[in-house]
């Protein structure tokens, strides 16, 4: 049903991103416009595009910048936003989403990008790419605009799973730190655990337990553990990686986005109020654009699925071409840094550490430093 | 140790608010400035002011508008932000916070206002005012700026307790609806349950259970249950009362505040960028002020403790005079509407309903409507 066609070799040496062209709210033309923008900016990128070839080929041929940089992988079916994950797991074989993951599974690309149904994409990713050895629950990480020097921090999990015990939270800390190192070029990320207060006695039992676990692992894992952080620290500069369960993370993410959207709407309304304020807003336009560029969620578009054999970037379902291009840029950056392999090595060495610690009856194994972990 | 002094009777017929003058970050002068602003706007308000009288009296005497409208209640000690709730419960008797609650307990005021330590205030409120019969966990409710016609919605719990089971969430729904009716003049509030998706099969088990419980009670309790809502709905117009556990609510609240603060800082920075943008921001000043008035957290200052014999308004620790005045305004509105009594009646009738339902083996008692509940 699916076959890679038009496998031109002009893309040798380029980094190949596997892109699900279907399933976004705005259709494949928007996805093609997005990858075209990326191709324009980045000469080292190439694509495998998944979906009905008779639909996609004309869209691609209209873009001169994409000439010779796109391989097509024909997949006639589409996962819709209403499809239940369980249904897609059983019947999704002919879909562009399945096909996009297949390219990663087969090693033709190291990162896949999709704007489709998050639940279905996570379910398919788990059964097709499989979890990394040592990972119980994969997580979705997002970049959050903040006053950090890098302009963002990482938060995970934002909705892969609604539960997380202390060991899961430790794995999120390791995976998030690895993501920050490779996706944001931070040598020694600061990791915090989201709670309702920063005192150590506060919060749910699993959080106190996770606090202890992460404290013990941090010195061996090349990150700084700053302890508990609060919701107000998400856009701040005390932390680079915020660790939380998928329920809390999802509520926080949507609350932050909702608040930013509301303020944006009020801002537009405030400036429409009078002729003077309309004039002022014209003058203020560059300032406002500069602001928008900083807080625009489209520019940080891309939740990343962590803890699998391969990396999957989930773009917003409603992403426009700018949003798709931002997700592709992130995918490229992660592919180029060899993130998938580094994360796998990091998780494996943490699992070994944990085993040693258990054998030795608690506490990180003293001799673990002899193992010469790569910074990943 | 404490005694009400200077009990002038000029305040007969006025609504008396019990105010803890100490414990805020900005000291008693700010609290006095805040109540003075309220007194200026509202001729029907009077105060009992708690704290060291020798400190407070000179501050009050400097404000002409407060003449004859303040009774002093001397309390030499202060609860600091670092005091542990457990310590304050045992040793807090001489504090202004304890004293402020005492005036409510004795019926001299129906609502108390404090800028102090939230944990200590909740702990003292529970032991001094006691929980309403039928309430297992009191909750803290806040007003959240939204695109509702009333400009706000209510969210609870935002941090009284980090846990909440299905029955607690039902009580929060009842208490939140009652607050919306009395604090926001909404006849039939729309109540939603915060979750990570709006489909009924999503979320934690206690949420599915709470969904069922609230659905059953809604028709008897004069509110519309809109089912699950998401973080993005908090600033929106699909719901008036958002019900959640104190952990999630606290994270959402602080995330929303943090996001708003970050955008505000970016906005100021964007306008500082060039001479032209400085000029533009001068022109835009009225628009920006209008915006600030809508999203200013000081203007919605006041978490309300619900589920106790009496109402306590918790103002932000960092509240300035505007913030204190907003908290006092809310306290006045709740006192004037007879909120405490109405809420108690509402919770009692719900407890009766629940008992009937249990006797009849599930489902709200059919004959409950005969009991002629007051809309409260």
> Which has the minimum average pLDDT: A51-60, A340-349, B170-179, B348-357?
B348-357
**Angle A275-283/B275-283 helices, nearest 10 degrees?**
160
Residue that the structure tokens 């592709």 belong to: A328
Please tell me the predicted confidence (pLDDT) of residue A270: 67
B351 in Cβ contact with B134 (< 8 Å)? yes
Residue ranges and CATH numbers for the domains of chain B are 1-130+308-337 (3.40.718.10), 137-302 (3.40.718.10)
Please tell me the predicted confidence (pLDDT) of residue A185: 82
Please tell me the predicted confidence (pLDDT) of residue A366: 35
**Which of A97, A140, A104 lies closest to A120 in space, CA to CA?**
A97
Considering CB atoms only, which of A257, A280, A287 is closest to B287?
A280
Query: In angstroms, rounded to a whole number, what is the distance separating the alpha carbons of residues A128 and A11?
Result: 26
Query: In angstroms, rounded to a whole number, what is the distance separating the alpha carbons of residues A156 and A160?
Result: 9
Kindly give, in sequence order, each residue whose CB lies less than 8 Å from that of residue B370, ignoring residues fewer than 6 positions away. Answer: none
Cis peptide before A157 (omega within 30 of 0): yes
Query: CB distance from A288 to chain B under 8 Å?
Result: yes
User: Token digits for A285?
Assistant: 């336009």
> Number of helices (H) and strands (E), helices first, in chain B?
12, 12
User: Where do runs of H (alpha helix) occur along A184-320?
Assistant: 205-217, 246-272, 275-283, 285-295
> 3-state class of A107 per DSSP?
coil
C-alpha angle A122-A123-A124 in degrees, rounded to nearest 5 = 90
Please tell me the predicted confidence (pLDDT) of residue B257: 84
Cis peptide before A354 (omega within 30 of 0): no
- Residue B375 pLDDT > 50, yes or no? no
Is B247 in contact with A273 (Cβ distance < 8 A)? no
For B305-319, the pLDDT digits (tens) are 999 999 999 998 888
- Residue B217 pLDDT > 80, yes or no? yes
Chain B residues with beta carbon closer than 8 angstroms to that of A251: 194, 196, 230-231, 244, 248, 251-252
Residues of chain A under the 70 pLDDT cut: 1-12, 201, 270-301, 353-376
Please tell me the predicted confidence (pLDDT) of residue B294: 59
B24 in Cβ contact with B117 (< 8 Å)? no
Please tell me the predicted confidence (pLDDT) of residue A298: 58
A68 in Cβ contact with A10 (< 8 Å)? yes
Chain B residues with beta carbon closer than 8 angstroms to that of A260: 259, 263
**Angle B285-295/A246-272 helices, nearest 10 degrees?**
150
Query: In angstroms, rounded to a whole number, what is the distance separating the alpha carbons of residues B292 and B318?
Result: 18
For B116-161, the pLDDT digits (tens) are 988 899 999 999 999 998 898 999 999 888 888 888 889 999 988 8
For B272-307, the pLDDT digits (tens) are 666 666 666 665 666 666 666 655 555 666 789 999
- Residue A205 has a CB neighbour count (10 Å cut-off) of 10
Please tell me the predicted confidence (pLDDT) of residue A107: 94
* More confident of the two residues B225 and A346: B225
Q: How far is CA A338 from CA A185, A187, A344, in A?
A: 13, 15, 10
> Which has the minimum average pLDDT: B19-33, B163-177, B331-345?
B331-345
Looking only at the bridges linking them, the beta strands covering B311-314 and B111-114 are parallel
Please tell me the predicted confidence (pLDDT) of residue B363: 42
Residue that the structure tokens 């709740």 belong to: B334
- Residue B45 pLDDT > 80, yes or no? yes
From the CA of A216, how many Å to the nearest CA of chain B? 25
CB pairs under 8 A between A and B: 183
Residue that the structure tokens 């694509």 belong to: A47
Chain A residues with beta carbon closer than 8 angstroms to that of B82: none
Query: CB distance from A205 to chain B under 8 Å?
Result: no
C-alpha angle A158-A159-A163 in degrees, rounded to nearest 5 = 105
Query: In angstroms, rounded to a whole number, what is the distance separating the alpha carbons of residues A30 and B139?
Result: 46
B120 in Cβ contact with B88 (< 8 Å)? yes
Query: In angstroms, rounded to a whole number, what is the distance separating the alpha carbons of residues B308 and B104?
Result: 11
Is A258 in contact with B231 (Cβ distance < 8 A)? yes
Residue that the structure tokens 């129906």 belong to: B110
Kindly give, in sequence order, each residue whose CB lies less than 8 Å from that of residue A111, ignoring residues fewer than 6 positions away. Answer: A17, A18, A104, A310, A311, A312, A313, A331, A332, A334, A335, A340
- Minimal-distance CA residue of chain A relative to B278: A284
**Which of B50, B129, B56 lies closest to B96 in space, CA to CA?**
B50
User: Where do runs of H (alpha helix) occur along chain B?
Assistant: 28-41, 53-61, 85-91, 96-105, 118-129, 166-183, 205-217, 246-272, 275-283, 285-295, 321-336, 339-359
**Which of A336, A312, A299 lies closest to A45 in space, CA to CA?**
A336
Please tell me the predicted confidence (pLDDT) of residue B286: 62
- Residue B4 pLDDT > 60, yes or no? no
From the CA of A315, how many Å to the nearest CA of chain B? 18
Is B291 in contact with A251 (Cβ distance < 8 A)? no
Is B270 in contact with A259 (Cβ distance < 8 A)? no
> 3-state class of B315 per DSSP?
coil
Average pLDDT over residues B102-109: 96
Query: CB distance from B81 to chain A under 8 Å?
Result: no
Please tell me the predicted confidence (pLDDT) of residue B372: 37
Q: Is the dihedral of CA B335, B341, B344, B346 positive or negative?
A: negative
Stated length of chain A? 376
Query: In angstroms, rounded to a whole number, what is the distance separating the alpha carbons of residues A319 and A296?
Result: 12
Residue that the structure tokens 């706000």 belong to: B152
- Residue A34 has a CB neighbour count (10 Å cut-off) of 29
Chain A residues with beta carbon closer than 8 angstroms to that of B203: 162, 247
Query: In angstroms, rounded to a whole number, what is the distance separating the alpha carbons of residues A154 and B199?
Result: 27
Query: In angstroms, rounded to a whole number, what is the distance separating the alpha carbons of residues B281 and B272?
Result: 8
Select the residue from A287, A288, A294 to test the B interface by mutation, using most B Cβ atoms within 10 A. A287
User: Token digits for A306?
Assistant: 């962590």
User: Where do runs of H (alpha helix) occur along B184-299?
Assistant: 205-217, 246-272, 275-283, 285-295
Summary mean pLDDT of chain B: 84
Chain B residues with beta carbon closer than 8 angstroms to that of A230: 250-251, 254
> Which has the minimum average pLDDT: A256-270, B1-15, B185-199?
B1-15
Please tell me the predicted confidence (pLDDT) of residue B169: 95
């Amino acid at each position: 049903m699916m076959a890679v066609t038009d496998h031109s070799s002009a893309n040798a040496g380029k980094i190949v991103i596997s892109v699900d062209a279907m399933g976004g709210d705005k259709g494949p033309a928007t996805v093609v416009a997005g990858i075209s923008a990326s191709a324009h900016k980045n000469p080292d990128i190439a694509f495998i595009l998944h979906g009905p070839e008779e639909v996609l080929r004309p869209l691609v041929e209209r873009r001169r910048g994409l000439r010779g940089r796109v391989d097509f992988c024909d997949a006639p079916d589409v996962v819709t936003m209403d499809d239940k994950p369980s249904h897609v797991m059983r019947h999704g074989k002919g879909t562009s989403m399945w096909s996009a993951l297949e390219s990663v599974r087969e090693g033709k690309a190291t990162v896949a990008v999709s704007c489709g149904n998050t639940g279905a994409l996570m379910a398919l990713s788990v059964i097709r790419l499989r979890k990394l050895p040592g990972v119980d629950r994969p997580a979705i990480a997002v970049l959050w605009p903040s006053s950090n020097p890098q302009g963002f921090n990482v938060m995970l999990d934002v909705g892969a799973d609604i539960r997380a015990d202390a060991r899961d939270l430790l794995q999120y800390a390791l995976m998030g730190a690895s993501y920050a190192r490779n996706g944001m070029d931070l040598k020694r990320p600061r990791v915090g655990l989201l709670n309702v207060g920063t005192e150590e006695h506060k919060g749910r039992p699993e959080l106190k337990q996770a606090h202890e676990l992460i404290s013990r692992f941090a010195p061996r894992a090349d990150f700084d553990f700053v302890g508990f952080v609060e919701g107000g620290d998400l856009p701040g500069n005390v932390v680079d990686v915020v660790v939380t369960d998928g329920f809390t993370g999802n509520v926080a993410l949507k609350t932050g986005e909702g608040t930013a959207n509301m303020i944006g709407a009020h801002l537009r309304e405030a400036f429409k109020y009078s002729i003077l304020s309309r004039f002022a807003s014209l003058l203020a336009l560059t300032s406002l654009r500069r602001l928008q560029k900083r807080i625009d969620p489209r520019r940080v578009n891309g939740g990343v699925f962590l803890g699998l054999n391969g990396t999957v970037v989930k773009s917003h379902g409603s992403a426009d071409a700018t949003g798709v291009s931002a997700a592709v840029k992130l995918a490229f950056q992660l592919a180029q840094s060899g993130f998938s392999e580094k994360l796998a090595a990091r998780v494996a060495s943490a699992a070994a550490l944990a085993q040693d610690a258990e054998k030795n009856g608690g506490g990180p194994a003293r001799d673990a430093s002899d193992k010469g972990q790569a910074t990943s």
